[in-house]
Structure 1
Amino acid sequence: MSESRTPSTSRVVVGVSGSPGSLTALARAADEARHRGAELWPVLTWQAPEGDPAARRFPASATMVPEWELLARERLLGALRDVFGGADTGSAGQALVVRGAPGPALVRTADRDDDLLLVGAGGRGRLRRALWPSVSRYCLAHAGCPVLAVPPSPLRATLATVHRRNALRLRLDTGHLEREFGTPAPRGESA
């Protein structure tokens, strides 16, 4: 990706974590950037495993910071490879690794009025919503630019169901695949 930027160029900033939802958001952000003639800025945020306050209290963990940042960079490159087949997104812009909590770091990065911030949304159960704050909700509430919350891929729920049935060693119902996707069920299996 190009490192140069002009101040008047609009940006599409997208939060990337490597999760399936963030990969969907990254692909959508690339489409939005091309459509708008904007720069694409994929952003992966990271924190020390114990959090930044713990890293400040225990200097021994501070020696791990370069390693954690390197791991974050590798995760970002992996996400770019998964979506684009390589580190080049085909758009002008800059891929960033930012230290900090995801919501605040994304809002700080998408700090211009003409920015568009994309985040993955949905696919979280009640327990996850109760225990972990939602990055998309934070961004929607605090960003000074438009925010687009991208829902997960429609295949995600189907894949989760198949995974659960495989884990429980239950017979797969392939009839719904034929109904949804037009793929004939393999011989010997019924709907």
Structure 2
Amino acid sequence: MPDQTFQRVEINGGVVVGVDTSASSLRALTVACEEAERRNAVLHVVRAWSMRTAPRPADCPPNAVPSTEAFQREVERETANLVASKVGDPPKVTAEIHVVHSPSPQSLLAASRGADLLVVGHRGRGGFAGLMLGSVAEQCVRHAACPVLVVRPQV
């Protein structure tokens, strides 16, 4: 089995938010944007992906498997659109997008080493609907190197 080398996110200060296109992560993105604005800090948007979670590139023919680079470009495009819809026009904060082919917990925990705050949604795209806290959020709360804000849904 080949050794997989995952990308790492390294930052120096600011607010980090994990996004995966779930409703919970989009709410976390909104809250993180407000926190970054309040702190006059850079917003670091981390999008970790795998072949299972990446959107299929629209230009890939049926029955073909997209390349890793094609998946990366599609995730970058989708994430940039999400961020643009949340930061406003003109932008309220400086946002940096970090799209990495890596498991979400590892990416967010690596980013937390240089962050002032890590913001995550209470549950992402996977898991069981009845859980109070998703596995990624739980790992972040337990192991992050900075304060963690877990965003619950609006009621």
Query: Please, what TM-score do these two structures have when normalized by structure 1?
Result: 0.59
Q: TM-score, normalised by structure 2?
A: 0.72
Runs of 4+ residues over 6 Å off in structure 1: 123-126
More contact order relative to length (CA 8 Å, sep ≥ 6): 2
Match of 1:84 in 2: 87
After TM superposition, list the pairs within 5 Å mapping 1:92-103 onto structure 2: 92-103=94-105
Structure richer in helix, relative to its length: 1
Find the aligned partners of 2:125 and 2:71 in 1 and give their Cα distance: 26
Partner residue, 1:160: none
Match of 1:72 in 2: 75
Residue equivalent to 1:185? none
1:107 positional shift: 0.9
1:59-113, Cα deviation, whole Å (9 max, x unpaired): xx7x710011112112202211332356x7431241110111111111112212x
- Tell me what 1:110 maps to: 112
Q: Which residue does 1:48 correspond to in 2?
A: 51
Tell me the alpha carbon deviations over residues 17-63 of structure 1, each in whole angstroms, 9 at most, x when there is no partner.
Answer: 1221111111110111111121111111111239xxxxxxxxxx7x7
Alpha carbons 1:43, 1:97 under 8 Å: kept: yes
> 1:135-165 CA distances to partner (integer Å, 9 max, x unpaired)?
11111111111110000122xxxxxxxxxxx
Q: Distance in 1 between matches of 2:75 and 2:126?
A: 26
CA distance in 1, matches of 2:112, 2:142: 13
Aligned to 1:53: none
* d(CA) in 1 for partners of 2:20, 2:151: 14
1:76 aligned partner, one-letter code: T
In the other structure, the counterpart of 1:140 is: 141
Query: What is the one-letter code of the residue matched to 1:149?
Result: V
Whichever residue aligns with residue 70 of structure 1, its letter is: R
Identity of aligned residues (%): 31
Greater radius of gyration (CA): 1
**More moved, 33-42 vs 116-125:** 116-125
Separation of aligned partners in 2, 1:152 and 1:39: 24
Matches of 1:126 and 1:80, distance apart in 2: 24
Residues 1-191 of structure 1 aligned to structure 2 (within 5 Å): 7=12, 10-49=13-52, 64-84=67-87, 89-112=91-114, 115-122=116-123, 127-128=128-129, 134-154=135-155
DSSP-derived class of the 1:94 partner: strand
Residue ranges of structure 2 left out of the alignment (5+ in a row):
1-10, 54-64
Distance 1:67-1:16 versus aligned 2 partners, 3 A rule: same
CA 1:105/1:129 → structure 2, altered by over 3 Å: closer, same or farther? farther
Cα 1:126–1:41, aligned 2, differ >3 Å: closer, same or farther?
A: closer
In the comparison of the two structures, how many residue pairs are matched?
133
SS in 2 for 1:95: strand
Query: Does the 8 Å contact 1:11/1:33 carry over to 2?
Result: yes
